[in-house]
Amino acid sequence: MKSQNVFAALIEPLQRAVAEEGYTAPTPIQHQAIPHLLEGRDLLGCAQTGTGKTAAFTLPLLQELTLTKRTAPGGRPRALILTPTRELAAQIGDSIKTYGRHVQVTHTVIFGGVGQNPQVQAMRRGLDVVVATPGRLLDLMAQGHIHLDQIELFILDEADRMLDMGFIPSVRKVIAKLPRKRHSLFFSATMPPVVAELAKELLHDPVQITIDPGRPTVERIAQKLMFVDKENKDELLIDLIADHNMDKVIVFTRTKHGADKVVRRLVQAGINSAAIHGNKSQTARTTALHNFKTGKLRAMVATDIAARGLDVDGITHVVNYDLPEEPETYVHRIGRTARAGTGGDAVSFCAARERDWLRDIEKLIRKPIPVDRSHSYHSETARLATGAEARPEPKARQGGQRRSSGPSLHGASRSGGQTRAPRPAHKGGSFSPGRRSQHR
């Protein structure tokens, strides 16, 4: 099927919504996935965020539910999308709202950190689609507010992130409550053994789609490395944001305390910014993300909770204030810029004790990151650090996280990205209906 015909296979209301968002051609994952999903095939997709996978399952989901319209009874949704973080759940909910504006498909988003009463009330009214994080979903199931015995479509998104966050046992509990006859989709950026085994259990004769394997570097991103002593990182960051064309920048730190400290220094320097991390209330996180999206904040400082799934238009720069402990996380972080075929810049600070992490990152991306020595805080000590003096300080694991194994499939598809008209557009992807697999 030619790529320009993939969207043409959608029903007219969905085609209209896609056109209104300014998209003219599908991304590779949409081109490959949509035809199979419209036929009802189970799908195993290996793709990172930014490839258009959300739309790749949202559009077919909306089409299937529209063509097989039936009233969902209270507390018994027809479709479930399970995702690891609140931010990603909210973004998927936005995608459903955007692409479903001309069809009669109801949905809600369920996650923790906020009161459950509005979520319970929404479920009682009867909904077609529930987008949920595992913890709150299991809580509402245990209380009898949600039953999964009438699920027709099940989508598990970012399965490897579920593993990293210790959610796989919870995911298995959810899957155990699903009916055998269902249409299932499974997405993961990497395929460590535990995740691969889960996919095997969940899917029946799936179509397998891999986007850009073995190319872990995001193509359209200009990467730069700055060696700097730890005590000078704040001043270097302030100089960069103040003196350069950083219109919308996301800054990544290793710790929650570090994120708050950086925000205080930026605000003192007159740079509007806010932090987003796990200790922030859901209201604070939602407000910060909204203000960042709308341009009220020039900088958002985040821990790695935002490295996966965060999809904000127009991020011009990513700054790694602290290098990540896991080299794969570097790829996730810098992938927040250069979305939908645009360019972007990633600047990474490296102190002496981060040199081992830098070596791991450059080994993963298979090339050295260009060094900028022109800034006022360049540190030869950090650049030349080796052995014990370069060994990073140990960091306590949080939330049962563990390092994922297996090959990295975080390659970007910027060169084959979704083509859209000049007007700003919301990104997404498509999913389709068709025959449901019989799980035995």
125 and 161, same domain (yes or no):
yes
Does residue 420 carry a pLDDT above 90?
no
- Determine the structural domain holding residue 371 and report its residue range: 221-398
Q: How confident is the model at residue 432 (pLDDT cuts 50, 70, 90)?
A: very low
262 and 147, same domain (yes or no):
no
Residue 320, C-beta contacts closer than 8 angstroms, at least 6 positions apart: 252, 330, 333, 334, 346, 347, 348, 349
250 and 333, same domain (yes or no):
yes
Tokens of 242: 């103040």
Q: Please calculate the CA angle 298-303-304 and round it to the nearest 5 degrees.
A: 115
Mean local confidence (pLDDT), 91-110 = 96
Measured between alpha carbons, how far is 208 from 214 in angstroms, rounded to an integer? 16
Measured between alpha carbons, how far is 57 from 60 in angstroms, rounded to an integer? 6
Residue 309, C-beta contacts closer than 8 angstroms, at least 6 positions apart: 49, 83, 84, 85, 87, 88, 91, 158, 161
193 and 46, same domain (yes or no):
yes
- Residue 405 in domain: no
236 and 186, same domain (yes or no):
no
The predicted structure's pLDDT at residue 212: 63
Q: Report which of residues 397 and 306 the model is more confident about.
A: 306
**In this structure, what are the phi and psi dihedrals at residue 390, rounded to the nearest 5 degrees?**
-95, -5
78 and 129, same domain (yes or no):
yes
238 and 350, same domain (yes or no):
yes
Does residue 410 carry a pLDDT above 90?
no
249 and 309, same domain (yes or no):
yes
- Residue 287 in domain: yes
- Residue 407 in domain: no
246 and 299, same domain (yes or no):
yes
Measured between alpha carbons, how far is 392 from 395 in angstroms, rounded to an integer? 9
- Residue 103 in domain: yes
The predicted structure's pLDDT at residue 24: 83
136 and 260, same domain (yes or no):
no
What value does the mean pLDDT of the chain take? Answer: 84
Mean local confidence (pLDDT), 169-190 = 95
Number of domains within the chain? 2
The predicted structure's pLDDT at residue 349: 98
CATH number, position 245: 3.40.50.300
- Residue 95 in domain: yes
Q: Report which of residues 221 and 3 the model is more confident about.
A: 221
pLDDT in tens, 29-55: 999 999 999 999 999 999 876 678 899
Position 43: which residue type?
A: L
372 and 240, same domain (yes or no):
yes
User: Tokens 């509005």 appear where?
Assistant: 118
The predicted structure's pLDDT at residue 282: 77
Residue 175, C-beta contacts closer than 8 angstroms, at least 6 positions apart: 154, 201, 202
The predicted structure's pLDDT at residue 395: 47
Give Cα separations from 341 to 76, 110, 187, 414 (angstroms): 39, 31, 22, 5
Mean local confidence (pLDDT), 408-418 = 35
Bridge partners, 210 (sequence order): 46
Position 148: which residue type?
A: L
Measured between alpha carbons, how far is 152 from 77 in angstroms, rounded to an integer? 9
Q: How confident is the model at residue 390 (pLDDT cuts 50, 70, 90)?
A: very low
pLDDT in tens, 187-240: 998 888 999 999 999 999 999 998 864 444 456 789 999 999 999 999 999 999
DSSP for 186-225, please give it.
Answer: EEESB--HHHHHHHHHH-SS-EEEESSTT--S-TTEEEEE
Q: How far is CA 130 from the centre of its chain?
A: 18
User: Tokens 């996301």 appear where?
Assistant: 250
Residue 102 contacts residue 16 (beta carbons within 8 Å): yes
Q: Report which of residues 85 and 171 the model is more confident about.
A: 171
Position 105: which residue type?
A: V
210 and 225, same domain (yes or no):
no
pLDDT in tens, 333-362: 888 887 655 678 999 999 999 999 999 999
- Residue 406 in domain: no
pLDDT in tens, 280-328: 887 888 899 889 989 999 999 999 876 566 778 788 899 999 999 888 8
User: What letter would DSSP give residue 72?
Assistant: P
